[in-house]
Amino acid sequence: MIRIARAFKGAVFLLSVVAAPMLAVAQDDPEAAKFKALSEADTMIMVKMRDGVALATDVYLPKGDGPFPTIFVKTPYNFNTIAGSSLAMANEAIERGYAFVVQNERGRYYSEGEWEILGKPRTDGYDALTWLEDQEWSNGRVATWGCSSTAEWQLALAAQNHPAHAAMIPMASGAGIGRVGEYYEQGNWFKGGVHQTLFTVWLYGVQQNLRPQFPKGLSQEQLQRLRKAYDLAAAMPEMDWAKHMRKLPAIDWLKDADGNDGPGAALMSRKPNDADWYQGGLYHDNEDFGVPAFWFNSWFDVSQGPNLALYNHVRQNASDKAVRDGQYMVVAPTLHCGFFRTPEHTDLVAGDLNVGNATFPYYDTMFSFLDNYLKDKRNNFHRDTPRVQFYTMGRNEWASADSWPPQDASAVTLYLDSGGQANSVFGNGTISMDVASGASSDSFTYDPMNPVPSLGGGVCCNRDASLGGSFDQRGIEARADVLVYTSEELDEPLDVTGFVRAKLYVSSDAKDTDFTVKLVDVHPDGTAYNVDDTILRTRYREGFDKEVFMEDGGVYELNPTAMSTSYEFAVGHRIRVEIASSKFPQYMRNLNTGGNNFDETEGVIAHNSLHHSADYPSQIILPVRR
């Protein structure tokens, strides 16, 4: 798997690089000055792929003798300017003796070809690794690294088991996951069969398939000069996306926003198990996985569930034992890609929730992992590093375990009940360990033209159309179309760590509708902070490969994909569960017609019910650590 020997093993190379401009950086940035002092640059190298398309690539090498191990960042984003955590990472890599290489995906900025989401990892990614291992300055071992779009393409590449791909650090990589276990999110396009609207907003700024391009065949020096004046970065007008996404039909959102040509409408028209999801760059769980990986995930990210499930899948199913044993994971209390924005000397606030001092030695831990796999001198990473490290909110401490979920977590079932009026926080909905003994159901009216607003949770990339993190939910809980079930005050702490599952029994007079589930921590002063949530479109209750519609009067069991967290509910706090049929604009509204939703302009009102009785015991199942 890891190429140990090369023909020039042990040779020393004197670096000879093209005199080239460095990345554009702020002149008064001390990190930029450090980067210039540490590295030698060879920029705007046009690396040819197997079909002849050339991809723009920048190489930064430590000053001194090689060969060097390589950290490779492949991205759809503009790397003409490097700043922030990307610049800090480049400095860390160079200072620790790594080559740092950045490449634009095809069809992006100066790279040739037509863009495709995830950048053709199975071919372009593979060919880039071959080019990197063949460079005279390379020791033949490459680690892929990055967050979000610079992480997601790594997953399908790992299935190719390239001999130079020695290790990988994917952070917040959920949009690279197609199907894994119970999750059919297809790159975060769905949750529970419901479109997540973030991709429309993201594509507005990214899909630029009609774009200015310079003639092919320009010299490296010409491209370097051009990049000083033209970074080819599109500047799209600002949009009020929360307002814009109220327009129907949804499939016209990008067109109505005067967005550029791209794949948005075609992607929106797909269903969760469309065959086209299995033709692109997504990784699916029927593939092998050939690379040791250190996964970095977040509690308030858009796809923490699939991320955790994929870690478990690789840990249990990779064909190579060394790969199975080479999987490690960290789960932080941050929002999407917030790892390096964690304050060192003050508390971290996720949304409005203070989660304490969540500092973590990210760089030291990452480079200990990379040194183990990319350098000749092995270290004690495997001995010294816990298999899974995760932050328990509420208690506000880092914890560790040998597996996910921790083996000491056991299922505790809590049942939803009411006196027949659980509507809003002012109702009488309860949670207890006893099967429901009160009224047999609670009902509410879901009007898709007046959906329940989203506030908090795992989101990203939507330009604040829906805020991520944890916020006080009382304003939402005051609505009559939100069912609220609350426990008694806790007389001892309750550590909920693992996958949180709900089982609901529902009915509706609509053929199809959605049901949302939100887990909430109620503080003694009444503030109610969201922990996690999930959603399920009822037509997919029997699987995402089929559609089964409801009949008026029928009662149906729903098992939404699991929520996930590590959260301690403190003494005096209460556990709360919210049930509704919308969380908009985070999730696209169900218009309740049984149609496509995305191409419809009219909705119907649904009268929905949650049942709770001995025959229909709606429940939430918590993984509790004793």
Q: What CATH number does residue 547 fall under?
A: 2.60.120.260
Number of H helices, E strands in the chain: 14, 28
Q: Are 292 and 167 in contact (CB under 8 A)?
A: yes
**Is 342 among the domain residues?**
no
Please give the C-alpha separations between residue 390 and each of 304, 366, 431, in angstroms, as whole numbers: 12, 15, 27
Domain stop point among 259, 286, 313: 286
**Is 358 among the domain residues?**
no
pLDDT band at 270 (very low <50, low <70, confident <90, very high): very high
**Is 323 among the domain residues?**
no
Query: Does one domain contain both 192 and 56?
Result: yes
Q: For 433-494, give the DSSP string.
A: SSPP-S-SEEEEEE-TTSPPBP-SBS--SSTTSS--BB-B-HHHHTSTTSEEEEPPPPSS-E
Q: Which residues pair with 283 in a beta bridge?
A: 177
Choose among 93, 8, 32, 107: nearest CA to 59. Answer: 93
Q: Full-prediction pTM beyond 0.75?
A: yes
Return the minimum-mean-pLDDT range out of 6-15, 109-118, 134-143: 6-15
> Can you tell me the mean pLDDT for 414-431?
97
**Is 61 among the domain residues?**
yes
**Is 363 among the domain residues?**
no
Query: Does one domain contain both 28 and 168?
Result: yes
pLDDT band at 293 (very low <50, low <70, confident <90, very high): very high
Strands 194-195 and 397-401: unpaired
Query: Does one domain contain both 251 and 107?
Result: yes
Q: Are 125 and 119 in contact (CB under 8 A)?
A: yes
**Does residue 186 come out as left (phi exceeding 0), alpha (psi in the -120 to 50 range) or beta?**
left
Looking at residue 365, its pLDDT comes to 97
**Is 402 among the domain residues?**
no
Choose among 106, 119, 109, 101: nearest CA to 57. Answer: 101
**Is 309 among the domain residues?**
no
- Give the separation between CA 336 and CA 30, rounded to whole angstroms: 26
Q: Are 299 and 566 in contact (CB under 8 A)?
A: yes
- Give the separation between CA 18 and CA 229, rounded to whole angstroms: 20
pLDDT digits (tens, 9 = 90+) for 309-338: 999 999 999 999 999 999 999 999 999 999
**Is 392 among the domain residues?**
no
pLDDT digits (tens, 9 = 90+) for 517-551: 999 999 999 999 999 999 999 999 999 999 999 99
- Give the separation between CA 193 and CA 537, rounded to whole angstroms: 6
Please give the C-alpha separations between residue 415 and each of 507, 577, 608, 612, in angstroms, as whole numbers: 18, 10, 19, 8
Q: What CATH number does residue 101 fall under?
A: 3.40.50
Tell me how far the alpha carbon of residue 377 is from its chain's centroid: 33
Residue 127 has which token pair? Answer: 């060919």
Gyration radius from the chain CA atoms:
25
More confident residue, 17 or 289: 289
At CA 584, angle to CA 578 and CA 590, rounded to 5?
90
Looking at residue 13, its pLDDT comes to 28
Domain stop point among 286, 307, 329: 286
pLDDT digits (tens, 9 = 90+) for 171-217: 999 999 999 999 999 999 999 999 999 999 999 988 877 788 899 88
Please give the C-alpha separations between residue 407 and each of 16, 74, 326, 332, 615, in angstroms, as whole numbers: 53, 36, 20, 20, 32
- Give the separation between CA 301 and CA 58, rounded to whole angstroms: 30
> Can you tell me the mean pLDDT for 266-286?
96
Query: Does one domain contain both 76 and 218?
Result: yes
Looking at residue 93, its pLDDT comes to 95
Domain stop point among 286, 313, 338: 286
Please give the C-alpha separations between residue 217 and each of 80, 112, 223, 398, 620, in angstroms, as whole numbers: 20, 11, 10, 53, 61
Residue 454 reports pLDDT greater than 50: yes
pLDDT digits (tens, 9 = 90+) for 361-398: 999 999 999 999 999 878 999 999 999 999 999 999 99
Looking at residue 28, its pLDDT comes to 66
pLDDT band at 3 (very low <50, low <70, confident <90, very high): very low
Structural domain of 582: 409-625
Contacts (Cβ under 8 Å, ≥6 apart) of 54? 46, 47, 48, 111, 112, 216
Chain-wide mean pLDDT for the chain?
93
Looking at residue 36, its pLDDT comes to 85
pLDDT digits (tens, 9 = 90+) for 572-588: 999 999 999 999 999 99
Q: Are 110 and 54 in contact (CB under 8 A)?
A: no
What is the longest distance spanned by two Cα atoms in the chain?
A: 80
Contacts (Cβ under 8 Å, ≥6 apart) of 582? 446, 448, 451, 452, 514, 516, 589, 590
What's the total number of domains in the chain?
Answer: 2
Looking at residue 325, its pLDDT comes to 97
pLDDT digits (tens, 9 = 90+) for 460-474: 999 999 999 999 999
Residue 338 has which token pair? Answer: 């917030």
- Give the separation between CA 25 and CA 21, rounded to whole angstroms: 11
Q: Are 612 and 406 in contact (CB under 8 A)?
A: no
Helices (H), 108-192: 126-133, 149-158
Looking at residue 20, its pLDDT comes to 36
Tokens 């299935």, residue?
Answer: 159
Looking at residue 27, its pLDDT comes to 55
pLDDT band at 15 (very low <50, low <70, confident <90, very high): very low
Compute the CA torsion angle 595, 601, 607, 611 (nearest 10 deg). 50
Query: Does one domain contain both 414 and 282?
Result: no
More confident residue, 8 or 563: 563
Residue 24 reports pLDDT greater than 90: no
- Give the separation between CA 577 and CA 444, rounded to whole angstroms: 16
More confident residue, 233 or 377: 233
Residue 17 reports pLDDT greater than 70: no
